[in-house]
A and B are shown apart, each in its own frame.
Chain A
């Protein structure tokens, strides 16, 4: 980048530690005045080699490692890993387990979107938003904590089921939180729509069109904000999502405001899914009957084969490619995180904008560097 520098240009490095970032990465910007002429992302500051570690852990141990790929959506990562092994083993969790998984994953989606909204607010200078959303997020994290016993990294899913049943009184505790959240989401929406500064910072900034988004390989809310209804829960239903009624939220503008709006609408859909789950959840066993799988199956051999399993993460399409050679450890696990391609699409989006908009665009992508680095 240095060699192309003209005399009236300068390079600034944002990061690795910068308030604009969801985790350490470095953004090198070549500026002419305030305009971004060129941008480059440097990754790897928290690359921990998860794929190599997974090859050396048994399947059960692997669950705790995949938790830490992205610490905001540990349950979705687990779902993807456990789903891969279940496909290879040829088992399917019983209905009650599937509903419990959907309940927890949707709660997880809610807390992730809330934190994403708050971070976005903070990046564009609206720090109070962060305090509002963290307050609501704590309620939801508390609910997840009640079931799994951990706030961030849960290790809750098991092959063929879940570790524990929902505690007594969980539904009664959850529904008031969801009702409150519905009101709060409307408040946020009103706040966003009535605030002129917010509109000016976000509307028409960082516009992504559907064709460009597809060619950049973006998925999740960033893609749905351009009008493409791509959602793994609909396109390739896993768990009981095919029995649940929900719609894929899309917007057409493709700018920062649209991405935030998609997240707000998705939170409403998540609440709707949760309400349906609480109505429909059947009683029954947590693990398939007549199989050796249970809470603790320490030595488990998975038949040789390979599988690519996709789930819908709050940030987009999460996929894992697992190869088994018939032993108790996976031969190879490739983690395809949703934020990796989204972060890759950041430089083409910010070229031509001003420095102040970089924070808005980067924030509206709702990142998680840990998952891009792995």
Chain B
């Protein structure tokens, strides 16, 4: 580990070789540059149209989440596709009451997702505790733990409301106001 670090410092202190007509740069510099340009709009257009979400039914809202992703409501037409693995997913939907026992697992799932990633709070339980706000086993104030972009109220919200939530998220991404991307 130490060896790699040393190498890195050597590399950064070394002045890049000057080649006539060639500009040398780094990936992060390109990213930082792109964020200020119209190219980011193009990237965001791509991102907002492929919001794959992780199927992780936690409560009553989980059933509606599954129904939304399946044949009848067919969110595939918006590029919103259910994925089983967190490593394939862009969006995590907190679809129910987060218990003291489940919170560490949920944090781990969130960490396993590759960036940029967004999180939706679906239903009253994840927003404010819902019917279980006074329970001995649930955790409150989930929005302090995860950077939630869209809150979808309802107990449970209908599939149309979830689709509306996704549309709101898409609009936030277009406006570069979302909390999932690191601007």
A137 cross-chain contacts in B, Cβ below 8 A? 67
Q: How far is the CB of B32 from chain A (nearest CB, A)?
A: 34
Q: What CA separation (Å) do A71 and B155 show in the bound complex?
A: 11
Do A24 and B102 have beta carbons less than 8 Å apart?
yes
Nearest chain A residue, comparing its CB with the CB of B85 = A19
For B42-56 the 0/1 string (1 means CB < 8 A from A) is 000000000000111
Q: Which of B134-171 contact A (CB under 8 A)?
A: 134-138, 155-156, 158
Q: Are B97 and A152 in contact (CB under 8 A)?
A: no
Per DSSP, are chain B's interface residues mostly helix, strand or loop, or mixed?
Answer: loop
A45:B70 contact, CB within 8 angstroms: no
Min CB distance A198 to B, Å, is 20
B156, A153: Cβ atoms closer than 8 Å: yes
Interface residues of B in 14-62 (CB under 8 A from A): 54-60, 62
CB contacts (< 8 Å) of B62 on chain A: these are: 23, 71
Contact with B along A160-197 (1 / 0, CB 8 A): 00000000000000000000000000000000000000
Q: Is the CB of A152 within 8 A of B102?
A: no
B180 lies within 8 A of chain A by Cβ? no
Contact partners of B63 in chain A: CB under 8 A: 71-72, 115, 152
Stretch of A1-9, A48-56, A248-256, A325-333 with 4 or more beta carbons under 8 angstroms from chain B: A48-56
A17 and B109 alpha carbons, distance in the complex (Å): 8
User: CB-defined interface of A107-134 with B at 8 Å, one 1/0 digit per residue?
Assistant: 0000000010000000000000011101
Contacts A46-B96, A132-B71 aside, 7 further interface pairs with beta carbons under 8 A come to A24-B105, A47-B101, A72-B63, A134-B71, A135-B70, A135-B72, A370-B59
Q: Point out residues on B near A: beta carbons under 8 Å.
A: 54-60, 62-64, 66-67, 70-72, 84, 86, 96-97, 99, 101-102, 105, 109, 131-132, 134-138, 155-156, 158
